[in-house]
Structure 1
Amino acid sequence: MTANKPVDFIDVDGKCPFGYYEEARARDTVEFEDRTGFWIAASYGAASKVLTDEETFPRFLPEEIVTDPKYVRTVATPSFLQGDERLEHHKWWLRLFSPKELRRYREEIVSVVVASTLDEFADQGKVNLIHQFTEPVADRVIAAVLGLPWQDDAWMAELRRNFDLAERYKASIYLKPEESEQFAEDALAGTYRIDDLLRPFMEQRKATPDNTVMSRVLHDESLQSWSEDELYGLVRTFFTGGSGTTSVQIGNAVHLLLTTEGLVDQLVDGDDELISRFVEEALRLVPTNHYRNRKIAEDVEFEGASLPKGQVIGALIAAGNRDEARYENAAQVDLTRPNPRQHLTFSVGIGACVGSGLARVILQESIKALTSRLKDIRLDTSAGEPELVGSMFRPYTPLHLLFDV
């Protein structure tokens, strides 16, 4: 990248973006890029303001994202919540993931799922981490929290296959909408198939309430006015929002762990505080979600630029997370960093991820198990050199490991 040959955001689709992020942060203002049609907010301060100020920079509603209204159910739900109603729903989720509930999930579900998944390959000396660990762990934990049959491999594989159809559509539509049409019908069919898979368990929880999230969805008073389609959509949203992103984040954290000299030795004894601090650094440095798009609701002067109403601004989360103006030695892992949770990965404000507490628990238990149970864990680059791929969601792949049995 040179000064006389600028690189637009669209050019780093499928390529390592960190050089681009550094250049974008060095700009004096937020700038408009013709080919993406985005204004680019790359510093920590600018990205944080975009994510926080939802009056000036509101979220796109699902019907504004998809190419045809019939595809709304494929990208998000509930799409109808605004204002105070949205705030109350946000608080509802936070109650479901209170510290007390997170302790229960850690003990009864997360540690059990992580251990049983690791048992499946712990005597083999090698593992395709994404397919044998990160994806199964993330899917199984969310399924167990919902009250779904996480130990039924065939059922879970069918659920994942249909969620992947929707994810493929979403991955293309945010950056290159013109390329998404070919995936739209498959994504729509996938959401209806997911509902068919969920239905027996939803009907069971209607008749017999328990302490699962699915049961809370069906029986909590605050959701009694929701339609059946909206309730099913809420369960789908929780599954896809909590599983795919967490799977990518586990893999990215492991890659960071194994490519940072001396880090495995620091964590191998399973010190909970150090593991928690490492997880926050991984969330900051190699997040799953690299950016979020927002509308510009009104003409506004922002970060040295005049932004016109109706255009799009991209808050580059992964760029802000490495802002030297915000973090000392921003590109380095620092397990003594003050206020380690103060990053943009789970967003900020009313749009902050309500499942962040559960995601942290899954990450912590996964890193603890991998470092404590697998001896001399290391990358197996003979099976492929990991590369950071994608655009909005960015996993390191392939990710193969070796370890001593």
Structure 2
Amino acid sequence: MSAPSGPALPWRAVVALSVTMIIAWGSQYYAIAVLAPAIAEAEGWSREAIFGAYSLGLLAQGLCSFPVGLLLDRFGGRIVMSVGSVLSALALAGLAAAPSEPWFFAAWVATGAAMAATQYEPAFATITASFGDQARRAITILTFAGGLASTVAWPITAALLPRLGWRGTYRIWAAAALLVCLPLHATLLPGARVARGAARRPLGPILRAAAFWFVALALTTGAVLFSIVAVHAIPMLQEAGLSATAAVAIASFTGPMQVAGRVLEFAGLQRVRPSRVAILAAAAQPVAIVALMGVGQWWWLAGVYVVLYGASGGILTIVRGTVPAELFGREGYGAVSGALGTPGIVARAIGPYAAAWLWQAAGGDYRPVQVVMVACGVLAALAFLGAARCAPPPGPAVGPPAGR
């Protein structure tokens, strides 16, 4: 399979996906953080039930990732992501219409299926099938936009909520999926032509390779760390002695640091193989958590934590899309990426609850949780190292070989 090159590269697809990633992540992932208190107050449902439904959606996303990957290889991003946009609109409208908790849970399952067909994994697969050796640069550009999702979605959701209520806000997001994402996916993404060659590659040999399981382990342990930070970072900083305002301010710098990490990858690391970049970025994460553990004694370590964690996290988002293509080739990328991502998405759903249980079992002490986080970060770095060392000679790489 030869990928397009030169002027034939569909850069308009990257522009389209940059817009749709903001809407998909904003509506399916970030909006609930703003809307949950209003839902609880209006409906009388517990926050545990609301976030339990959300976690069930993440589990559904994980279970759907592999079959969606197979569909991407067979039919291409245009069809799969267009169908995903329709499903997203219906699911978000279902959330808005939910008359009871069981309905709300069912709508989140549908939303999870839509996540699998509209977020980073299908976007990365679409770009990899279309861009060939230029996919790494295109993926990096796409993650710049994706990193703005919370910055865009939280203020919009907060502005709509007092005017339209939580149900009306979800209806607006549903309309955005149908009226913005669907036309962009249907008209600007490549069709099935570039995906036909990818569908011919048997997946069995890759699944039997040690490198595959090393990468899966790295992505899964990294997802555990990420999910715990996403929910518990602010309480951890407060436990270390920071005020609520200071903790929120420190945590809010994670996003800009992610962008800084992606700029570094784009400007300075394009000639380094993605697997090597992954090792370095993953190794920085446990160092960041160790710094977080020391904030109670030395407050300035909060800055060290947010810089290291944010920048490395921004880079790791990119390598999620580029390492599979480097180690296993571009053919069959959708299925390989879906299989690799499934356990990580499931771990992302379970991680915050497991951390809360451990915190409570430790008598309200986050130190055991932080030890687990450090262990996850070290294990992720070692797993990426193992994958790089035992991988077979790569297929067409996403980035140029080191030293070229």
Return the TM-score normalized by structure 1: 0.26
Return the TM-score normalized by structure 2: 0.26
Compare the two structures and name the one with the higher helix fraction: 2
